[in-house]
Amino acid sequence: MTRRFHAVLFDLDGTLADTAPDLAHALNRTLEHFGRPTLPFEEIRPVVSHGGIALIRRGFGMQPEEEGFEERRLFLLDVYLKNICTHTRLFPGMDTVLEQLCAIAIPWGIVTNKPAWLTDPLMAALPMPCGTQVVISGDTLPQRKPHPAPLLHAAEKLNVDPEHCLYVGDAQRDIQAGRAAGMATACALFGYLQKQDRPDQWQADYSLHKPEDILGLLAA
């Protein structure tokens, strides 16, 4: 059997792991602390992939340059760090995918814009069926997605040519980064897409309705 891909790389939030419950909790505790009404989970979930800045924008209707924005963002991140894996889990079916990757000796890794001080404790706390070979966080390099550098760095760490890598993500910047790196790309439609997102226009090579769809892409 000829392998189509020699490595699989994943975005973290909204692709590998369902982090929305813990991030939604952090936003709502922040809203309460600053005297604002909480938001329903369904309104918070689509914003999660875009990080703390996007969450504060959504919750408070503020912009980063406004007074008080950074105070609220730091409060949110502190609450999140203290509850970083309370309700976070791998997306259903992702454990099967990782088990299969390990069983057939295809290395896998993470390339996320989440900073290492949040990525590392989350990865340490998140139950995994087998270990990852590389984790590239948002501050590992000077560049972040949609720049291709983090993906190219991950491929180099795995000693795999980019053209033999598959990158899976749920945001347009993931697909842009993967394409710029010369990798095959797959859009995780089960992730945190917003109403205005048009994944059919992102030019991903594949669309995934569930994590197990990755298994069909592993062999020619």
Contact at 8 Å (CB) between 17 and 121? no
The residue type found at 85 is C
Q: CATH 3.40.50.1000: does it fit domain 7-18+88-217?
A: yes
Q: Which of 11, 174, 197, 213 is catalytic?
A: 11
What is the pLDDT, as a whole number, of residue 1? 46
In angstroms, the CA 182 to CA 4 distance is: 14
The whole-number pLDDT of residue 190 equals 97
What's the pLDDT score for residue 170? Answer: 97
The letter for the amino acid at 21 is P
Catalytic residue among 13, 18, 22, 197: 13
Q: What is the pLDDT of residue 210?
A: 98
Nearest Cα residue to 168 out of 191, 136, 194: 191
**Known catalytic residue at 170:** no
Instruction: Look at phi and psi of residue 123 and say left if phi exceeds 0, alpha if psi is from -120 to 50, else beta.
Output: alpha
Write b or e for each residue in 125-143: b if 16 or more Cβ atoms lie within 10 A of its Cβ, otherwise e. ebebeeebbbbbbbebeee
Q: Supply the pLDDT for residue 79.
A: 98
Q: Which residue positions in the chain have pLDDT lower than 70? A: 1-3, 220
Domain spans of the chain, in order of start: 7-18+88-217, 20-82
CA distance 5 to 163: 8
Indicate the residue type of 22.
Answer: D
- What is the per-residue pLDDT across 174-189, written as a single tens digit (0 to 9) for each? 999 999 999 999 999 9
Tens of pLDDT, residues 21-61:
999 999 999 999 999 999 999 999 999 989 999 999 999 99
